[in-house]
């Protein structure tokens, strides 16, 4: 699967619920670290949607213990339905050979960075995105805003990375950043995430339920094209440099 | 009326339709320049919503001829229902005494600046907002984005002006900027505008119909409060400065 347009991933720990995501989400993010028998679930999977396999350690907001975490993720990447694997930037930086190993199983790599405390300065955020893109196919950054300005810093970093040709997914977390999940695609964010409806788990702060997020995103896509109106107004407006009002 | 929270104005050229805006909009923006017999309409007005009187000249995207434009606006400001008057920055800059005259009729002044071609650089936009705020109670800027980055420039200017204590209304026009009409309030924008449903006029590029805009804004307000989730995740996450992964 190629992320030409922005795609929406439904996050779940139960692959039998994939049917609920069809027609709404483009992908399933399978949170192996919060699932019962994740490898058995993958073996039994006969759904339609391609899978992002994620096995998040406690370091990064997940529940997987370190022992066997990457082995399980590697086993997951062997399944045909698994088209993406999410690996934390910090993990792949410490074990650079991982990227090559996973690629041999014909999966694309989402290299992710999370900061649940704050939003890094713009130059640091840019450097993180560049590093993620060096190792992977999609650079994912999820950072926590301490104020509204931080949400704009995240959107600017996403917008500029997109303009530099990077496939980036950017999220400003928490309540303050919640709307970035809706409008991120307008700035080039390639992947959105939402919990599958009726799934009680909280995977990340500020998430919006799948059906609601999908319809909000759709609404931002469906604005009427008003090129004609703009042209009309432009032709009527011509403010002179030296404005002299005669009224 | 005090603009404590963000308010939504329904734009119309027909005050008899005010009833359609009740319960959805907080104000009526009456576009006198596009109305038949505007002063007669104001004399007959017995609606509930307070009115913003706007009489836009052709210079600024309206239809009023220069002759008598400001006299009519001044007459409008005498009606009790008219609580705000919109005057272009360029107009009040050329006739500074206007602000004082209008204030004597007990109205608040929205000083507006429009640019239908482009979005000024950040420092210029800041200076425009400061000037608007010097003359009026609300500084309104509606500027046209040439790319996504321009919409972020507008939102940043609104956010920073809000942090400096200015009552500002900011809009990035056109299709690219359309979503700023929905999320602007999150950055402090005090006034949104939408055409009254079933009103065929196009007042500004990128506008979203009233009912739709009102429900979209409401959705961005109703995100679930997830402070508890955030605290939980924070307590579980503690990435050490020197990261050593044991898996």
pLDDT in tens, B145-203: 999 999 999 999 999 999 999 999 999 999 999 999 999 999 999 999 999 865 566 67
**Residue to substitute from A186, A235, A245, A246, interface B, most B β-carbons within 10 A:** A245
The CATH number of the domain where A117 resides is what? 3.20.20.70
Angle between helices B148-163 and B122-135 (to 10 degrees): 40
Task: Tell me the mean pLDDT in the region B98-115.
Answer: 96
Domain count, chain B: 1
ipTM for the predicted complex comes to 0.81
In a domain, B245, yes or no: no
In a domain, A243, yes or no: no
pLDDT at A63 over 80: yes
Task: Tell me the mean pLDDT in the region B134-141.
Answer: 98
pLDDT at B245 over 60: no
pLDDT at A11 over 60: yes
Q: What pLDDT does A61 receive?
A: 82
pLDDT at A210 over 50: yes
What residues of chain B lie within 8 A of the CB of A91, using their CB? 245
What residues of chain B lie within 8 A of the CB of A225, using their CB? 175
pLDDT at A207 over 60: yes
DSSP B164-229: TT--EEEEE-HHHHTTHHHHGGGGT--EEEEEPTT-----STT---HHHHHHHHHHHH-PPP-HHH
Q: What pLDDT does B230 receive?
A: 46
The encoded tokens of residue B112 equal 């507006």
In a domain, A246, yes or no: no
Residues A20/A102, Cβ–Cβ less than 8 Å = no
Q: What pLDDT does A226 receive?
A: 45
In a domain, B244, yes or no: no
In a domain, B242, yes or no: no
**Termini Cα distance of chain A:** 62
In a domain, B25, yes or no: yes
In a domain, B73, yes or no: yes
Instruction: List the domain range (segments joined by +) for residue A203.
Output: 7-236
Is A140 part of the annotated catalytic residue set?
yes
In a domain, B108, yes or no: yes
Binding-site positions of B for 3-dehydroquinate: 6, 29-31, 56, 181, 207
The encoded tokens of residue A83 equal 């088209």
Residue A85 makes CB contacts below 8 A (sequence gap 6+) with A52, A53, A54, A73, A76, A77, A102, A107, A108, A109, A110
A155: nearest Cα among B183, B237, B191, B123: B183
Residue B121 DSSP one-character state:
-
The encoded tokens of residue A235 equal 């032709």
What confidence tens digit (pLDDT) does each residue in B76-86 have? 999 999 999 99
Q: Which of A160, A223, A233 sits opposite B178 (nearest CB)?
A: A223
């Amino acid at each position: 699967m190629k992320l030409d347009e922005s795609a929406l991933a439904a996050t779940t720990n139960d692959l039998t619920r994939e049917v609920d995501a069809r027609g709404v989400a483009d992908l399933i993010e399978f949170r192996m670290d919060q699932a019962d028998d994740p490898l058995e679930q993958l073996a039994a999977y006969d759904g339609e949607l391609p899978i992002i396999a994620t096995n998040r350690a406690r370091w990064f907001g997940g529940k997987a213990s370190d022992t066997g975490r990457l082995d399980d993720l590697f086993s997951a990447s062997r399944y045909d339905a698994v088209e993406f694997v999410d690996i934390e930037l910090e993990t792949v930086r410490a074990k650079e050979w991982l990227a090559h190993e996973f690629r041999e199983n014909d999966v694309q790599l989402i290299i992710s960075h999370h900061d649940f405390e704050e939003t890094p300065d713009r130059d640091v955020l840019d450097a993180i995105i560049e590093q993620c893109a060096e190792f992977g196919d999609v650079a994912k950054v999820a950072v926590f805003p301490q104020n509204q300005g931080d949400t704009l810093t995240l959107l600017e970093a996403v917008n500029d990375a997109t303009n530099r040709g990077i496939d980036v997914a950017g999220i400003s977390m928490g309540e303050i950043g919640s709307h970035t999940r809706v409008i991120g695609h307008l700035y080039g964010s390639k992947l959105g995430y939402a919990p599958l409806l009726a799934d009680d788990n909280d995977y990340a702060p500020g998430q919006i339920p799948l059906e609601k997020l999908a319809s909000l995103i759709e609404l931002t896509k469906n604005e009427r094209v008003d090129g004609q109106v703009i042209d009309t107004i432009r032709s009527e407006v011509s403010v002179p440099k030296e404005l002299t009002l005669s009224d």
